[in-house]
Amino acid sequence: MTFAATGPIPSRTQYVLEAVKRAILTGRLMPGQALVETELAAQFGVSKTPVREALKTLAGTGLVVMSQYKGATVRMVDAQMAHEVYDVRLLLEPEALRRSIARGDGFDEAAGALRRAATADDAAERSLANREFHRALYLPCGNPLLGRMLDEVRDQAALVSAVAWAAQPSWEKEAAEHQEILRLALAGDADGAAGALHAHIAEFVRRAFPEPEGESR
């Protein structure tokens, strides 16, 4: 797992960072695609410096790969990468949800994210709402470090999802699973909600990136 640098980011760098991140996570910039500093600088009307700093930050979050010879490229997604990222989610996210329920969170933000996903006009907005839903489940867990750890893999998980959805859209199935997870959470069923979330995460990566026989975890 990689970690982004901390500290304030200049506004131009932040602008480029958010624009490039959104393009990656919504599939407009594809895995393996070159990210040329001069082209991005011209596109955003900035110098190369904020572009370079934005790409370094994105490399820290695992969305971009920096190479001395190839420059910056969007990170490739394969089964190994997908399973590594989702292993972390499987270990941490259900427990974080269990703790959020124990703390009595009302999950208003999670419910709002589901409504936004259901009424989204395009795949990009639906994807962003999906990310917000999962974050709204784990963030109230009462352990800021646990929340930050899940935030660190959030972008990489979204990249995996973008690649999987492009090949095999599964929005309706996942929306129904989200509704069930939220129902159990609102009912105070911590074990049931955590179990449903675990199954939801595990099934997605298993369906999108099946492992060869004999290599299951």
pLDDT at 4 over 60: no
| Long-range pairs of 55-58 with CB within 8 A, sequence gap ≥ 24 | 55/20, 56/5, 57/4, 57/5, 57/9, 57/13, 57/17, 58/17, 58/20, 58/21, 58/24
Q: Are residues 65 and 84 in the same domain?
A: no
Q: Are residues 67 and 101 in the same domain?
A: no
Q: Are residues 88 and 132 in the same domain?
A: yes
DSSP state of 33: -
Spatial distance between the Cα atoms of 186 and 196, rounded to a whole number of angstroms: 13
133-157: average pLDDT: 95
Q: Are residues 109 and 155 in the same domain?
A: yes
Residue 2 domain flag = no
pLDDT at 213 over 60: no
- Segment 62-116, tens digit of pLDDT: 899 999 888 999 999 999 999 999 999 999 999 999 999 999 989 999 999 999 9
Overall number of domains in the chain: 2
What pLDDT shows up at residue 110? 97
Cβ of 109: how many Cβ atoms within 10 Å?
A: 16
Chain position carrying tokens 């959805």: 165
pLDDT-derived band of residue 188, with 50, 70 and 90 as boundaries? very high
Range of the domain at 147: 79-208
Q: Are residues 100 and 26 in the same domain?
A: no
Mean pLDDT (the chain, rounded): 89
